[in-house]
Amino acid sequence: MGKEFRGTIADHPDFDAGSDAEALYDAMKGFGSDKEAILDLITSRSNAERQEIRAAYKSQFGKDLIDDLKYELTGKFERLIVVLMRPPAYHDAKEIKDAIKGAGTDEKCLIEILASRTNEQIHNLVAAYKDAYGRDLEEDVIGDTSGHFKKMLVVLLQGTREEDDVVSEDLVEQDAQDLYDAGEAQWGTDEAKFIMLLGNRSVIHLQLVFDEYQKIAEKSIEDSIKSELSGDFERLMLAVVQCIRSKPMFFAKRLYKSMKGLGTADNTLIRIMVSRSEIDMLDIRECFRLRYEKSLYNMIQDDTSGDYKRTLLKLCGGDDDMAGEFFPEAAQIAYKMWEISAMTKVQLRGTVRLYQNFDPASDAQALRKAMKGFGTDEDTIIDIVAHRSNAQRQEIRQTFKSLLGRDLLADLKSELSKNLQRLILGLMMTPAEFEIKSLRNGVFTTVSTIIYLQIDYTSLYVYPYILTFFYIAYKKSLEDAITSDTSGHFKRILISLAQGAREEDPADMARALEDAQVNELADACNADPGDLEDKFMSILCTRSFPHLRRVFQEFVRCSNKDIEQIIKKEMSGDVKNAMFAIVRSVKNQPSYFADRLYKAMKGLGTDDRALIRIMVSRSEIDLFNIRKEFKETHDASLHEFIQVETLVVSCVLLLIHTACICAWVTGAIRH
């Protein structure tokens, strides 16, 4: 039995090459061209059929179809139609030729193509390159790249990866140990071992190796590659690993990065949409929705226009947000994602640490001097506050009062203004004071503040103080404040979270309890919306994060559905947003905050309150991890985003972000 077809473009049932060639000729003759007819015909024929049409066109009209299309069409639409008319191997050959010609190399294009193609596709690519350009592809790649990056590309160009029916069970544990010994277990890295194993073993074999590696290293192979390798070689090896795990997810990430933010990487978008349209576009669509909570169809619709957009949407094949489909392949990927999340022991790292040679009296005097007289020395204030841990800042506050008889926060508030004032005051407060301020500013009408507080199990030690200080500050309990500002299931969720009663890690909890909760979730999916929200709330708001990861993993296995998809489909408004925030944080908390930071800065205007809240609260917990997640998801560093998107608070945010900066431009922070 053959593998199920997962593409969106298939052979046309009543295909007639001669008739299609004539229809295309008619669409292009005379003044102007019938673009709708061209795109409808070409996107409803497979690539093999398009090659027959091209041959028939030349036979009937003595002209080259691609030349005529180039003449009649323009812009990105022309590029897309021409790519559709090329054989896949020849288009890959052209993309690589363009990537390595002239000054500079498009390494991302090289990585994408060579990391993702099968042995057969690689062999066809090498032959097509030779036929089209009369050159040896391997020699051209060697001449344009260097180091371990070059060596791995050469290995991939051989197209000699073992086939998937080759799984050496006795070698799985040995290969995992060899990878560990080549990197994590020694000073320096044996890159040759990584190249040999990742470049030659079969996909299924390596998937088993990665699982075994996780057990040995207590971290994923991806995390080890990030810590052991660097530059283009690191990016190539990560792409290989991602393709081993799931090519659809790899391409979903590439498509997202091609369209997010200002501008579109059209070459990448065209290359993937065309090359995967007859292979696994259905799976890519579902992986896209699974990871980004938005359909690929909708993102293309929002990011492109005209005939170019209509052609891409034809290749995409449908809007999953409307269809509500959930494919088994995506469920398997979701299961693996939850499994990795449950197994991985992440070492959380902040970026702000204890300052060496700390002298609170000296700092207090320096801060007072910075605020005396005409004007304020903001640079000194920023330099001191951003380089001290929160515990040290509290010592400075106390010393400032005992030495000078003044309230440091009051002085800072009078001397600074706007976002800089909010940021510096936030850094100077205790965690409990800062959380209370954030809660009150949020007024509970949005999910962000209280969900942000209670999903953070690392800050639960301050929670009793928050409840007490909130009452002292606002003369009402946190629960009363929630009750007066919210309603319905959303209110009940927030009140449940406000109890601060989430369980500890249930290492000794019986498996039967997990199974019972999985059954509860499965039953809830068939219940009315009210029952669904009640069941989800009782579990999501009280169970520990490690336990919930295992529950969600088992839920996928039992129901073939991912918990996020159920929430998205069955819930709405603030309830949906709250549930989503909890689940995303359970899966990967640094990733959740990286996404929140991106949303705070993208588009016109910046959500400065959210930006300040996250940067301050996470600076001593996991901002280093958040930085890594931000870079991986958005293909740009958090450092770069802050520099571009903020003006008033950029320097102090960058100091918090990097922990130490040798030099920074003074005078960038002003009123």
**Residue that terminates a domain, selected from 501, 519, 540:** 501
Rounded to an integer, what distance in angstroms lies between the CA atom of residue 519 and that of residue 539? Answer: 12
Give the pLDDT of residue 456.
Answer: 47
Residues 559 and 571 in one domain: yes
pLDDT band at 154 (very low <50, low <70, confident <90, very high): very high
CA 363 to chain centre: 40
Of 3-7, 40-44, 436-440, 667-671, give the range with the top mean pLDDT: 40-44
Q: Mean pLDDT across the stretch 358-370?
A: 95
- Which tokens is 448 given? 């962000």
Q: Domain holding 489: CATH number? A: 1.10.220.10
Residue 253 in domain: no
Give the pLDDT of residue 149.
Answer: 96
Q: Which residues contact 615 (CB under 8 A, 6 or more apart)?
A: 423, 597, 623, 653, 656, 657
Cα-based distances in Å from 333 to 245, 289, 560? 9, 12, 11
In this structure, the dihedral spanned by the alpha carbons of residues 306, 311, 317 and 322, taken in order and rounded to 10 degrees, is: 0
Q: 3-state class of 43 per DSSP? A: coil
Q: Mean pLDDT across the stretch 74-91?
A: 96
Listed range (28-32, 100-104, 597-601) with the worst mean pLDDT: 100-104
Rounded to an integer, what distance in angstroms lies between the CA atom of residue 322 and that of residue 93? Answer: 37
Residues of the chain with pLDDT > 90: what percent?
44
Rounded to an integer, what distance in angstroms lies between the CA atom of residue 425 and that of residue 408? Answer: 9
pLDDT over 70 (residue 25): yes
Residues 398 and 451 in one domain: no
Residues 154 and 218 in one domain: no
Closest CA to 617 of 643, 647, 656, 580: 656
- Which tokens is 491 given? 């209110």
Rounded to an integer, what distance in angstroms lies between the CA atom of residue 276 and that of residue 532? Answer: 37
Residue 530 in domain: yes
Q: Mean pLDDT across the stretch 109-136?
A: 96
Cα-based distances in Å from 384 to 143, 381, 396, 592? 50, 5, 10, 29
Higher model confidence: residue 545 or residue 249?
A: 249
Residue 668 in domain: no
pLDDT over 90 (residue 394): yes
Residues 556 and 631 in one domain: no
Residue 607 in domain: yes
pLDDT band at 358 (very low <50, low <70, confident <90, very high): very high
pLDDT band at 218 (very low <50, low <70, confident <90, very high): confident
Q: Which domain holds residue 490?
A: 432-501
Placement of tokens 């028939």 in the chain: 56
Give the pLDDT of residue 24.
Answer: 96
Of 153-167, 443-457, 558-572, give the range with the top mean pLDDT: 153-167
For residue range 585-606, list pLDDT tens digits in order. 887 888 888 888 888 887 667 7
Q: Mean pLDDT across the stretch 641-649?
A: 64
Query: Which helix (H) or strand (E) element contains residue 88?
Result: helix 88-100
Rounded to an integer, what distance in angstroms lies between the CA atom of residue 588 and that of residue 455? Answer: 11
Q: Mean pLDDT across the stretch 275-286?
A: 93
Residue 562 in domain: yes
Dihedral pair phi/psi, residue 262, rounded to 5°? -80, 130
Residues 387 and 424 in one domain: yes
Across the chain, what does the average pLDDT equal? Answer: 82
Give the pLDDT of residue 114.
Answer: 97
Cα-based distances in Å from 365 to 140, 368, 370, 389, 426? 64, 5, 9, 18, 20
Residue 577 in domain: yes
Query: Total domain count for the chain?
Result: 6
Give the pLDDT of residue 663.
Answer: 31
pLDDT over 80 (residue 273): yes
Residues 183 and 237 in one domain: yes
Residues 437 and 486 in one domain: yes
Residue ranges of alpha helices (H) inside 376-430 are 378-386, 390-404, 408-415, 418-428
Q: Mean pLDDT across the stretch 487-504?
A: 72
Residue 390 in domain: yes
**Residue that terminates a domain, selected from 501, 518, 550:** 501
Rounded to an integer, what distance in angstroms lies between the CA atom of residue 348 and that of residue 618? Answer: 10
Residues 385 and 443 in one domain: no
Kindly report each contact of residues 159-162 with a partner whose C-beta sits within 8 Å and lies 24 or more positions away, as own/partner: 159/118, 159/119, 159/120, 159/121, 159/122, 159/123, 159/126, 160/119, 160/200, 161/119, 161/199, 161/200, 161/201, 161/202, 161/203, 162/200, 162/201, 162/202, 162/205
Residue 218 in domain: yes
Residues 509 and 496 in one domain: no
For residue range 292-313, list pLDDT tens digits in order. 878 899 999 989 999 999 999 9
Confirm if 378 and 646 have CB atoms less than 8 A apart: no
Of 310-314, 326-330, 342-346, 451-455, give the range with the top mean pLDDT: 310-314
**Residue that terminates a domain, selected from 106, 136, 158:** 158
Residues 507 and 562 in one domain: yes
Residues 134 and 115 in one domain: yes
Residues 608 and 578 in one domain: no
